[in-house]
Amino acid sequence: MAMIDDSALKAAIGAANIPGASVALIDRDGTTYSRAFGHADIAAETPMREDTVVQIASMTKAITSIAAMQLVEAGRLSLDAPIGDVLPELAAPEVLTGFADDGTPQSRPATRPITLRHLLTHTAGFGYPFIHPDILRWFAPKGLPPGNWKAGIRMPLMFDPGDRWEYSVATDWAGQVVEAVSGQNLQDYFIEHITGPLGMGATRFRASDEMPQGAAKVHVRTPEGSLSPVGMHIQGGDFFSGGGGLSSTAPDYARFVRMLLNGGTLDGVRIVSPATIADMTRNQVAPLRAGYMGSAMPEFAPPYDAIPDQHTGWGLGFLINPQAGPNGRSPGSQHWAGIFNSYYWFDPAKGVGGVFMSQLAPFGDSGALAAFGALERMAYA
């Protein structure tokens, strides 16, 4: 790797008051920069390493989307057929219309079926309890399932499929589609078809008691401003969460991003075709705007808009910025994030990308985003 001036990144991480970070920059040929900063666990003084395992949360969505598109390529799934043909649970969706005076939810049948395209583009009508107050209210009588349980993705739609973009549990349902069609659980499918062929040996679904020694802890800030590790863990219920259950490392995920940057192939191994990557990175939701998330639980994730000054689009797994970004990113670049302040992007026009792994709540932390921006600027310097 060539020498890269990382003084601005060091300064940004120092100013951010985050527990630690593991980062990587890539181009199509390999990793151009890799480094770790700070701690994986402040209380235990465990140092963050380049290969420290972290919960990547919603960065799982891109891998699940690739899995679904592999099955589309193979002719075993259709993007536009009713997904209820594959998953009977989604065959007759109901749209939430409001609540009676006694709090009883009111609903009506959806006007059109849900498709895989709707699931992968977050236009199916689903939501997230931590983002959407009506979904949180719908769960209130029974309570939110603790941890990662399939009951937590069973909910009514907020709108008819295709009418809006709302970030949601839809990719969890896409993972269920992959399992139903492949006959494998998502862990085994990923290992055989994606993470195994890509050499991503550290990337797995792990319950909290399965995390390796030295894995990073999620931290929160105390009222005094110091950092404290907490027991937040996503994976561990009764299903593999295709929307957020993976743990991984910066080097592992950098290999996945390099595959995307190389049109579906890495080191001679083809995961999907260039045509599939072209389809996945094309805006699928116009004229809708993607990327804004409200909040029903600001202590977990306050309102967030990834690129507030752009009419951002969404492909089949990624947010798309239509204009140049402030840190050098080209129009047509793709990115997304994980709820514990991990982020990635890849820029097909300039052939670069990067990964920023941290473990801090709540999401959208200004210091973490500033550090991610500094990392991005390094790629274009």
Report the half-sphere exposure of 201 (CA within 13 A, side-chain side). 2
Catalytic: which of 22, 33, 61, 344? 61
Task: Find tokens 């499929």 and name the residue.
Answer: 161
C-alpha span between 316 and 91 (Å, rounded): 21
Sequential DSSP letters for 106-128: EEEE-SS--BHHHHHHT-SS---
Rounded CA gap, 333 and 331, in Å?
6
Q: What is the DSSP letter of 265?
A: E
Q: Is 58 a catalytic residue?
A: yes
Q: Measure the CA dihedral 308/311/313/319, to 10°.
A: -20
- Preceding peptide of 362 cis, ω within 30°: yes
Catalytic residue among 22, 33, 128, 167: 167
Phi/psi zone of residue 291: left (φ > 0), alpha (ψ -120 to 50 degrees), beta?
Answer: left
DSSP alpha helix (H) spans, 183-309:
186-193, 250-261, 274-280
Strands 352-357 and 342-347: antiparallel
According to DSSP, residue 282 is labeled S
Contact 356, 344 (CB under 8 A): yes
Q: Is 128 a catalytic residue?
A: no
The answer to whether 61 is a known catalytic residue is yes
Q: Which of 310, 362, 298 is nearest to 335 (CA)?
A: 310
Contact 193, 178 (CB under 8 A): no
Residue 246 near residue 215, CB atoms below 8 Å? no
Task: Note whether 227 and 220 are within 8 A (CB).
Answer: yes
CA pair distance 74, 258, nearest whole angstrom: 23
Q: Which is the catalytic residue, given 58, 65, 168, 247?
A: 58
In angstroms, the CA 73 to CA 225 distance is 50
Kind of pairing between the strands at 352-357 and 20-27: antiparallel
Residues in the chain: 381
Give yes or no for a contact between 317 and 62, defined as CB atoms under 8 angstroms apart: yes
Q: What positions carry a catalytic annotation?
A: 58, 61, 167
